[in-house]
Amino acid sequence: MDVVTIGLLAVSLPLTLVTFFKRRTRSKAAFAKARSMMGGMMPDIVAIIALIGLGLSFLTPERIAALLKSAGSFGGTILAALTGCITLIPAFVAFPLVGDLLRGGADLMPAVAFLTTLTMVGVKTIPLEAREFGLKFTLIRTGLSFALALVVAAIMGALA
Q: What is the pTM of this model?
A: 0.63
Mean pLDDT, residues 109-133: 89
Task: Give pLDDT, residue 143.
Answer: 94
| pLDDT tens string 28-61 | 998 899 888 888 888 877 887 787 677 767 777 6
One-letter-per-residue 3-state SS of the chain: CCHHHHHHHHHHHHHHHHHHHHCHHHHHHHHHHHHHHHHHHHHHHHHHHHHHHHHHHHCCHHHHHHHHHHHCHHHHHHHHHHHHHHCCCCHHHHHHHHHHHHHCCCCHHHHHHHHHHHHHCCHHHHHHHHHHHCHHHHHHHHHHHHHHHHHHHHHHHHHC
